[in-house]
Amino acid sequence: MKKRKLLSVVLLLMAAFNYAASQDLKLNDREYFEMQGVNVLVYSNLFTGGFNDEKNAGIELIHHGVRTAQGGAVRLSHTPEQWDLIPEILNRKVDRASKTIEATLRYKDYNFDSRVVVTAKGKGVEIAVYLDKPLPKAMEGSAGFNLEFLPSQYWNKAYLMDGRPNRFPRYVVGNTITKPNSLKPKQYKGYVTADDRGTGKYIDPLPLETGRTLLMAPDEPERLVKITSQNADLMLFDGRMLAQNGWFVVRSLLPAGKTGKVLTWTIEPNAIKGWEREPNIGFSQVGYLPSQPKVAVIELDKKDKPLAKSSIYKVGNDGKATKVFTGNIKSWGDYYKYHYVKFDFSSVKTPGIYYIQYGDIKTNNFLIDNSVYNKITDATSDIWIPIHMNHMFVNEAYRVWHGEPFKEGYRQAPPNTDHFDLHAQGPTTDTKYKALELIPGLNVGGFFDAGDFDIETGSNISVVQNFVRTWESFKPMRDQTFIDQKQRYVDLHRPDGKPDVLQFIEHGILNLVAQAEIIGHMSQTLSNAVLDNYHHLGDAASLTDGLPYNPKLGPYEVAPDGRSSGVKDDLWAFTSREPELDLRAATMFAAASRALKGYNDDLSARALTQSKRLLKEATALLANQAQDTSGRGNAANMSTNLQLYIATGEKQYVDRFQQLLWPALERNVSGNLLTALDAIPHLDASYKEKLRPYVVKYKEYIGGLEKDNPYGVPIGLTNWAGSGDVMNFGTTISFASKYFPEIIEDSHAFKAANYLFGCHPYHNYSLVATVGATRPKAVFYGNNRADFSFIPGNVAPGILFRKPDHFENYDDWPFLWGQNEGTIGGNTSYLIFGSAFKNLVK
């Protein structure tokens, strides 16, 4: 009876499906297929060679405003993991006459090419796979066409395979088998993606269902998709069986021994008749000062006719809302996919609780008060940063965030090792240590990079510099964290009588000075030796067994004295010398030596010694290298000389700083102005006057941003979203308006804060965890991402641009790092921006 009822509902929905699709997919000027409510992208975004499958490439479906499917390509696994082989896209051809987009895919390891041709047909597309040569024997039973669907948009929804009803699971369920590792398709650079624990076998998921016609989400018209296969079975897999970031995969195997058109699918995404994307009303979730500019940016479907006016309502003490302001809507114009209008309500100044009403859309409430920005950095400094302290046991009330990680220390990475996180050990170790030899003394201090547990040296250098800038500029005396280096113990929300920022500087320097003193220069990274450890989630202390590896022991065997084991899980130090990195470290050491003076004099002196040494050695090494055309070496050298001058007062350093500064500003004023501003308190008035024309030039840059996008801030368009650019912009404004208020208006800094706190494309959530009214982001890419949770104070990279015209930030799926991964570098950039901004608004 239940099955009959469900089928009746499906028939009704299918009738609606056919009625709604009165329009057909068209090949638009941006080279993807489009009709209202449906975009089908065909290799607009490609798989990367750095991180392989980032779930951001291939054939993609943007369905009623949300990118719900991606990864469409010939793949070698049922449920590919991140590090599985990906195809190289050799070419992409668009034929408007035939309404087709064609791409050639190659797997070099197998000398195998295929062609994927996508053709618009009515309300859907046909996807066809062509082979000029039969499948290589090694790929038979492995090569197939895959399309992956976002689990968070489908779990708990129904599906039918050949009319058989079922439901997408909220949590991964299903059946698996094990196969010998020798049968697993070749992995990325030889790395096996999961530890087989000595079994010699890997896990292979079995399909949830198999058939020729798949109807996805017939109970949800916005997500309804029909997939039919003419000449091969469709298999539905749950990719989360092998990896928490896996998607639901629809797959058909390619036939053996055949050429020509070997596989044909038809995909019909439902388009709701008359659908228009709901307006996204961007505003600051944190709220507004009574005196500041207050402008909401409203993102509209291009078919949505803008309203003439919008209103502000104030919530009274009795809980009733009263309209207190109505103002005009002003058009800004089109920006990529959507149309933008602005609503200025700056005249609303009375402290209280408010919301915006735009037509039928009512926002959540926000505050107007002089105190709204007082606590914007507290969660980041009190919680997120100390949780990411490496080599420490971190406790919070009844909860242990992690035990003390990596007690066994770090081993020398072998020469000619290509690492899976974009690091590599060159032909030599550049140290006195032999391959896999334990390097003593590195397991101290430092901060986890992000959602993983490595120490990225470059990031940690930036982190300490951010802490020093915060300390020297604002002297924050906040003390909410107990930190004991001898006990290697951290306790949150427990003051210990010492300013937390000074303790953070000390913790970062302990590791970085150890690198300089023990290795002789800065390492690239202290990171995982095996991929199975790299994607570890949970307690960092459980990533390794805490015992040094002993090659004399068998796998997983522990020595009788309990002091070593046969587990190859020790982390490696990648030590190839990079003079530019040494220069950056010299900058940071010089600055940190000042901050630590009087707090930890021994560490201060050691940092200054390493700064001078690294500057001298790195400058000599760079002089012997080919000409640096990037300017990065000069920029690092410029900053180092400034910091050494501030630390020592020696004239040689200030002369070299100024020699490098002015050409750098000519090349790139927006990228170098903040460094120039740092020097003002330490140089004479003539320096400030010489800097003035460049500040005027920066004002012109600000004006250009106002014309570039409706938010008036730098919006990044790469595969890492642009919160960092926005924070750097806000920090630069905060200092420039302090020193040159007659040129740079401090009101521009509010645009950066508004963007971070909700006034941005796609949605209006605050991008800082727990900072915001009722709509801070709820999920982030952190080491607890598998729990669909967050660490308070985390700052998301932000709104990610997907070529050619789509912005997104998932708040129901944490696993895309380019939009959701908080990093130690990014979060300490937020600390300096937040501190500068709070100082500005006082």
Q: What is the pLDDT of residues 297-324, one digit of tens each?
A: 999 999 999 999 999 999 999 999 999 9
Catalytic: 54? no
Last residue of a domain, one of 516, 551, 577: 577
> According to the model, what pLDDT value does residue 630 have?
47
pLDDT tops 50 at residue 16? no
Identify the active-site residue in 95, 162, 787, 812.
812
**Any domain includes 662:** no
Q: Which amino acid is at 409?
A: G
Place 3 in a pLDDT band, splitting at 50, 70 and 90: very low
Q: How far is CA 542 from CA 176, 455, 572, in A?
A: 26, 17, 17
Place 30 in a pLDDT band, splitting at 50, 70 and 90: very high
Percent of the chain beyond pLDDT 90? 88
pLDDT tops 60 at residue 149? yes
Percent of the chain beyond pLDDT 70? 94
Q: Which residue do the tokens 């004991």 mark?
A: 484
Rounded mean pLDDT of 479-501? Answer: 98
Closest CA to 277 of 636, 706, 806, 726: 806
Span 347-375, pLDDT tens digits: 999 999 999 999 999 999 999 999 999 99
> According to the model, what pLDDT value does residue 533 have?
84
Task: For residue 145, give the H/E element and its range.
Answer: strand 144-149
Rounded mean pLDDT of 194-222? Answer: 88
**Any domain includes 403:** yes
**Any domain includes 261:** yes
Last residue of a domain, one of 577, 603, 635: 577
The rounded distance, in Å, linking the Cα atoms of 654 and 660 is: 10
Strand runs labelled E in 519-577: 525-527, 571-574
- Whether 533 and 397 have beta carbons less than 8 Å apart is answered as no
**Same domain, residue pair 290 and 358:** yes
Residues 6+ apart with CB under 8 A from 71: 53, 55, 57, 58, 59, 80, 146, 147, 148, 247, 249
pLDDT tops 70 at residue 63? yes
Last residue of a domain, one of 269, 294, 310: 269
**Count of C-beta atoms within a 10 Å radius of residue 178:** 12
> According to the model, what pLDDT value does residue 181 have?
65
Catalytic: 491? no
DSSP states of 153-194: GTTT-EEEETTEEEE--SS----EEEEEGGGSPPBGGG--SS
The gap from C-alpha 664 to its chain's centroid, in whole angstroms, comes to 29
- Whether 516 and 610 have beta carbons less than 8 Å apart is answered as yes
Region of 690 on the Ramachandran plot (φ > 0 left; ψ -120 to 50 alpha; else beta): alpha
Number of domains in the chain: 3
Place 21 in a pLDDT band, splitting at 50, 70 and 90: very low
**Domain carrying residue 331:** 280-368
pTM of the model: 0.94
| Local structure of 305: helix, strand or coil | coil
Place 632 in a pLDDT band, splitting at 50, 70 and 90: low
The rounded distance, in Å, linking the Cα atoms of 169 and 155 is: 5
**Same domain, residue pair 190 and 332:** no
Both tokens of residue 773?
Answer: 């009214």
**Any domain includes 143:** yes
Q: How far is CA 706 from CA 333, 337, 710, 757, 793, in A?
A: 12, 18, 7, 19, 29
**Same domain, residue pair 159 and 297:** no
Q: How many alpha carbons lie under 13 Å from residue 62 in its C-beta half-sphere? A: 26
**Any domain includes 764:** no
> According to the model, what pLDDT value does residue 195 have?
65
> Rg (Cα) of the chain, in Å, rounded?
28
**Any domain includes 518:** yes
Could you give the residue ranges of the DSSP H alpha helices within 419-572?
Answer: 457-474, 500-514, 531-534
- Whether 102 and 115 have beta carbons less than 8 Å apart is answered as yes
How would you class 369 by CB atoms within 10 Å of its CB: exposed for 0-12, middle for 13-18, buried for 19 or more?
middle
**Same domain, residue pair 253 and 218:** yes
**Same domain, residue pair 330 and 423:** no
**Same domain, residue pair 243 and 363:** no
Q: Which amino acid is at 315?
A: V
pLDDT tops 70 at residue 603? yes
**Any domain includes 383:** yes
| Local structure of 244: helix, strand or coil | coil
**Any domain includes 633:** no
Residues 6+ apart with CB under 8 A from 681: none
Span 398-427, pLDDT tens digits: 999 999 999 999 999 999 998 888 889 999
**Count of C-beta atoms within a 10 Å radius of residue 90:** 11
pLDDT tops 70 at residue 757? yes
pLDDT tops 70 at residue 826? yes
Rounded mean pLDDT of 536-559? Answer: 93
**Same domain, residue pair 245 and 356:** no
The dihedrals phi and psi of 498, each to the nearest 5 degrees, come to -125, 140
What letter would DSSP give residue 827? Answer: H
pLDDT tops 50 at residue 188? no
